Amino acid sequence: MSSNKEKSKTQKYDRNGLENVMKRRFIVVPSFLIYNGVSGLYDFGPTGVALKNNIENFWREHFILEENLLEISGTCITPEIVLKTSGHVDKFTDYAVKDVKTGQCFRADKLIKEWIEKEKKKKKLTEEKIKELDELAIKIDNYEEKELDEIIERYNICSPDTGNKLSKSYKFNLMFETQIGPTGGCRGFLRPETAQGHFVNFKHLLDFNSNRIPFGSASIGLGFRNEIAPRSGLLRVREFTMAEIEYFVDPLKKGHKKFNSIKDLKLPLWSAKNQLSGKSIENDITLGEAVEKKIIDNETLGYFLGKTYLFLIEIGIQKEGIRFRQHTPKEMAHYASDCWDAEIETSYGWIEVAGHADRTCFDLSHHTEVSGVDLVASRPLKEPKLIKGIKVIPNKAVIFKNFTDKEKAKKLCDKLSKLSDEEKNNLMNEYEKNEKIEIDIDEEKIVLDKSQIKMERFEQNIHEEKYYPNVIEPSFGIGRILYCVMEHCFKVREKDSRRTYFDFPPLIAPYKASILPLIENEKFMEYIEPIRKILVQNGITYRIDAIDSIGRRYARTDEIGIPFGITIDDVTLKDNTITLREIDTMKQIRLPINEVGNVIKNCCNRIEKWEDIVKKYPAFEDKKNDS
């Protein structure tokens, strides 16, 4: 296994071998394949579903359980007003280009990156040219329409499939649009993220948490993005599972009470400053130092970066295949003040699998402004504070009675509920002078007198002040993580290149054990049910395989990453013991049937390691059947 880590990227990650196993063993396959499929859509088979569930379950343990987060589940269909307010309707876009003859679409930045990778494989490239291409690959994410067009023209980049010229780049909104209800009056979208479900439910969450800040909410659910040209398997899809955390903090207190537990952890950090100046990743800086130097903005953001690093290692990602890349200023999302992507090295290059953004108070403040509902928290004041203000109290019964256009009456009341302090002050001066006010609704001036509206000044001593919490958001793409885990755990037997296996950590392995009678004999088969019951009682998933030679069955179970093989043999009939085989080393031990459940469970729950277990039980060697 250690030799794999020293190989080049193309040797380390056998994409062709992996994809062959994924399709042949129905781990993940393109959807609707009998109708030639639709790009960007995939179905998970039994092994794929089990692996995905186990990754999600450990994510829940590692984040939700350990951090005491509040898990929620929101709807996938989202009204337009929510995503208009969040900025997605206007800004959730990528740049596309078209083949001018066939009309085939490509995502401009990805097309250029793929062209760079092909160019770098050409022979006799000068060091200067290679450096030029590497710098271009780093900066391409910062480029907009004009710059993308200039690069395509300068390097004469054409359609990769036909060699035809490409159109000018243009913005394409990535959301799937839909109509809610039969009338077409309510426009909606399939959600591009689960985050908005947290923000619109903030008042409920705050109340559930007894009005205490900080706290975090979390959800695992589907997201949808109408990708321009999905090409890289599970890495660029149109429907995917997201696991997101929204951690609400006081903007004046972005420390984290558990930061000291990870402050000495060293992460491979590639700051925006180093990217833009052509410098490399920093590996020798601790999270504590990075936060102190303001490379990472605050402790809470740094804490979740550390938690993500530990999570990825636990599920089987190699340490040297992980890095954290900070967004450059031009690349930063419209709502973020700092953002770091966890990226994993794959046969496709470095792939983002999780984003960590400080979203500031963008979402809560914008939803408050548009909805009129205060999505705020409060902090106690050391001393009472005198505040002055103006109350606006519309008489809705009279307003709706006097207006024949009820929709206009509703707009009027909505506007009155969302007046700024400056607007209130101006209207109050008018009210005190004329005993009436004028409000513009749909370019029409509406006059309201004292029978329709009441306005009054007030003074009040307050003991707490309201504020918009800031949000730290770690967001994970489960499908991308799953694919990266498979690439990092996909191995080939040294003595037989035709035999492949996954050395998944038992924690996330799709099935934990296989039950394998040495031969399909009635005496051996009688032991299957009692062993199966022991596994079920211990919460261990399993597969039973009694057909073919034992060597071929080992190979079959290895191929889908089952870490432990339970073999029923002649000795079992004599003393109620079985052999237990571990997938990576292929070493076997002999132990009593009634102990096998606890042994496997302890390995899967990270209570014991295999190397410790082999010291407790006698070894069993069967070179003939395992070769």
Instruction: Provide the pLDDT for residue 8.
Output: 46
Q: Which tokens go with 118? A: 């092909």
Q: What is the pLDDT of residue 448?
A: 92
Angle between helices 127-139 and 108-120 (to 10 degrees): 160
Collapse the DSSP code of 80 into the 3-class scheme (helix H, G, I; strand E, B; otherwise coil) and give the result: helix
pLDDT, position 336 = 85
pTM of the model: 0.87
The 8-class DSSP code of residue 332 comes to: S
pLDDT on residue 624: 58
Query: Alpha carbon 203 to chain centroid distance?
Result: 24
Helix axes 528-537, 593-604, angle to 10 degrees: 40
**Structural domains of the chain, ranges and CATH numbers in brackets:** 1-91+175-376+468-502 (3.30.930.10), 93-173 (3.30.40.230), 382-467 (3.30.720), 511-626 (3.40.50.800)
Nearest alpha carbon to residue 12 among 2, 22, 26: 2
Looking at residue 99, its pLDDT comes to 94
Which pairing describes strands 577-582 and 588-592: parallel, antiparallel, or unpaired?
Answer: antiparallel
pLDDT averages per 10-residue partition of the chain, 627 residues: 41 89 97 95 98 98 98 97 93 93 93 90 85 87 90 94 94 95 91 96 98 97 95 93 98 96 97 89 95 96 98 97 93 85 95 96 93 93 89 90 86 87 91 91 89 91 92 97 98 90 98 96 94 97 95 96 97 96 96 97 96 95 61
Phi-psi region of 561 (alpha: psi -120 to 50; beta: other; left: phi over 0): left
**pLDDT at res. 316:** 97
pLDDT at 11 (0 to 100): 60
Judge contact between 541 and 349, C-beta under 8 A. no
